[in-house]
Amino acid sequence: MKSCESQGIGSNAMGVPLILRRFKVGLVLWVALFAPLWTLGQGLPASVELQLKKTGIAESSLSAVVRSLDAPKGGSLEGGVLLAHRAGVARTPASLMKLLTTQVALDQLGPGFTWKTAFYKEGELSSDGVLEGNIYIKGGGDPKLSLDNAWRMLQKLRAFGIKRIQGDLVFDKSVFEPMSQDPGGFDDQPLRPYNVGADALLINFNALLITFVPDVQSGVARVQVQPPLQGLTVQAAVPLVSGPCLDYRAMLKVNFDNPNALLFKGAYASECAERTWPLAYPKPQEYTERALAGMWSALGGGVTGKVRAGLVPAALKPLWVESSSTLAQIIRDMNKFSNNVMAQQLFLSLSLGGSVPASFEQSQEKVKSWWVRNMPKSTQLPVLDKGSGLSRSESISASGLADVLSWGWRSPWMPELLASLPSVGQEGTLERSTLGVMAHLKTGSLKDVMGVAGFVQTQTGARFIVVALVNDAKANTARPVLDALVNWVAEQ
């Protein structure tokens, strides 16, 4: 029989095989280095448990995952687990669902992707600026067609020498499937801009910007509205009262029962100084028509026919095409300020370019296919709606969100993903955070829902993925719970 040594294993003077000694040393080192992490991973940190008790939120209402990002390259998405608490439970994610929409868009469209808004001219233009025909504007789904850009586009149309359209001004929204959305259907707040539905020609998020300028000498606050909607009368001023600026919106007592008249039954506090209030138009299906007509008229342009919806004739060539901001720029605004309307636009854009108009159903299938190709088979498929998180039907597990972030960290688009997330204490939804940690985190909240997800770096340079989701009737009190978890990770 061959000895251990003759087999290349070796032994010491006491007859103990060398491979066993090395195993013992290796085991001791493993215990010293990794056993603390394993022990911590068995339950929630004491600081988190304490905050759960203080808020009265049950442990079962919380899902949490913490993973190291410093595992060797080529490791699994699920590697380096520091904490996993009810990680596989499907939860309502609120705005954390934007992380999935963001990652799929970066991978499928690319960070340099842009949306196109095209202008077409039909007919002959006379020497005195009269167009004997129609102007067509075809929307491409731009998530951020601001008022400044809209004004600039119409000014460019005037620069082509067009003063009067002896025909119709036609807007084409055919790249998106026709859809109707009750603006008050989600939370009975129809005037909140976050409830605006998706739109292929989305001007200023289909909202009004109402600016109040105090005029102390006259005792009123002057009211200015942009864009100027055709047919909308606006109260010119509201009474100015002395006092602190508390809830100025509630004080104004807006009355928009009549979509043709914007009225205020309250007053404005002088200490509020100048403020701008974004307000959704109560008839969203009429917004584009009224906005284009009002803006074109304000620029001195005329339309003999109608401002209406329609399709661009197939034979027409664009007069010019406007490009939007890039996808990388769009997701920064979308995630840093958790813009639901932009997220819906982006989600729909995942199914642009097919033989039929883009739809939420098509985009849902696109995301599911991406998930099956890229996520671990053990991770539950999410339930999708409109990709923004402003939904009670959407759901995803904490481990699923962690997998998305792990994939994103290892993808070519990691810098764009990271740059889109608010930096703690610096910007966006976390500008006022007092956490004092180095982290890029996305927040999410709805009634009975609160969560946080992103990347945390410790003072020693170790990096971790953190995901925490609370679904509970007391979720609005869960901020200390989430902060305790992030702080705990930062201290590792």
The Cα 309–Cα 311 span in angstroms is: 7
Residue 46: inside a domain, yes or no?
yes
The helix, strand and coil proportions of the chain, stated in percent and rounded to the nearest 5, come to: 35, 25, 40
- Does residue 327 surpass a pLDDT of 90? yes
Angle 37-38-39 (CA atoms, 0-180°, nearest 5)?
A: 90
Residue 276 and residue 291 in one domain:
no
pLDDT value of residue 71: 62
Q: Each residue of 435-448: b (16+ CB within 10 Å) or e?
A: bebbbbbbbbbbeb
* Whether residue 332 sits in one domain with residue 320: no
Judge whether 468 and 62 are in contact, CB under 8 Å: yes
Tell me the CATH number at 483: 3.40.710.10
Q: Check residue 77 and give its pLDDT.
A: 63
Kindly state the percentage of the chain with pLDDT values over 90: 82
Cα–Cα distance for residue pair 427/453, rounded to 1 Å: 16
Burial of 277 (0-12, 13-18, 19+ CB in 10 A): middle
396 shares its domain with 429: yes
How far, in whole angstroms, is CA 177 from its chain's centroid? 21
The answer as to whether 23 is a domain residue is no
Across residues 356-376, what is the average pLDDT? 97
Residue 310 included in any domain: yes
Query: Residue 135 phi/psi, 5° resolution?
Result: -110, 135
**Residue at 173 is within a domain:** yes
Rg from Cα positions in the chain: 28
Tokens 């280095």 belong to 33
Both 246 and 102 in a single domain? no
pLDDT tens digits for range 69-92: 986 554 556 668 999 999 999 999
Q: How far apart are CA 85 and CA 466, in angstroms?
A: 12
Q: Are residues 348 and 481 in the same domain?
A: yes
The tens digit of pLDDT for each residue in 250-300 reads 999 999 999 999 999 999 999 999 999 999 999 999 999 999 999 999 999
Are 147 and 275 part of one and the same domain? no
Q: Give the C-alpha separation, 276 to 211, whole Å.
A: 4
Same domain, 361 and 232: no
Q: Which of 263, 267, 271, 275 lies closest to 213, judged by CA? A: 275
Where in the sequence is the domain holding 267, given as residue range(s)?
193-284
**311 and 175 co-located in one domain:** yes
Do 171 and 223 belong together in one domain? no
Does residue 142 surpass a pLDDT of 90?
Answer: yes
The whole-number average pLDDT for the span 89-98 is: 98
- Nearest C-alpha neighbor of 390 from the set 425, 368, 360: 360
Which of 265, 284, 303 corresponds to the end of one domain? Answer: 284
Last residue of a domain, one of 259, 284, 309: 284
Classify residue 25: in a domain, yes or no: no
Q: Please indicate, yes or no, whether residues 393 and 333 belong to a single structural domain of this protein.
A: yes
The CATH number of residue 154's host domain is 3.50.80.20
75's CB contacts (< 8 A; 6+ apart) are none
Q: Identify the weakest region by mean pLDDT among 191-195, 296-300, 302-306, 339-343.
A: 191-195
Q: Cα torsion for 373, 376, 380, 381, to the nearest 10°?
A: -10
| C-beta neighbour count of 249 within 10 angstroms | 14
Q: Is the model more confident about 75 or about 185?
A: 185
Q: State pLDDT tens for residues 206-229.
A: 999 999 999 999 999 999 999 999
Specify the length of the chain in residues: 492
pLDDT tens, 11-43?
444 444 444 445 444 443 443 344 334 334 458
Tokens 């203080």, located at residue = 54
Q: Residue 28 is inside which H or E element, if any?
A: helix 18-40
pLDDT band at 373 (very low <50, low <70, confident <90, very high): very high
Domain end position, chosen among 305, 325, 345? 325
Q: What's the rounded mean pLDDT across residues 358-380?
A: 96
* Residue 31 covered by a domain: no
- Joined together, the tokens standing for residue 57 give 């939120």
Q: Is residue 107 part of a domain?
A: yes
Distance CA 188, CA 121 (A): 41
CA distance 452 to 389: 13
Q: Which two tokens stand for residue 394?
A: 């959407």
For residue 70, the SS3 value is coil
Q: Smallest Cα–Cα separation from 143: which of 169, 175, 121?
A: 175
Angle at Cα 365 formed by Cα 360 and Cα 367, nearest 5°?
Answer: 95
Mapping DSSP to helix (H, G, I), strand (E, B) and coil, where does residue 474 land?
coil
Distance CA 161, CA 301 (A): 11
**Residue recorded with tokens 């079962």:** 60
Pick the closest to residue 87 from 453, 479, 370 (CA basis): 453
Answer yes or no: is 345 within a domain.
Answer: yes
Does residue 426 share a domain with residue 315?
A: no
Question: What is the number of domains present in the chain?
Answer: 3
Query: How far is Cα 368 from Cα 298, in angstroms, rounded to an integer?
Result: 46
Residues 302 and 343 in one domain: no
CA–CA distance, 485 with 44 (Å, rounded to integer) = 9
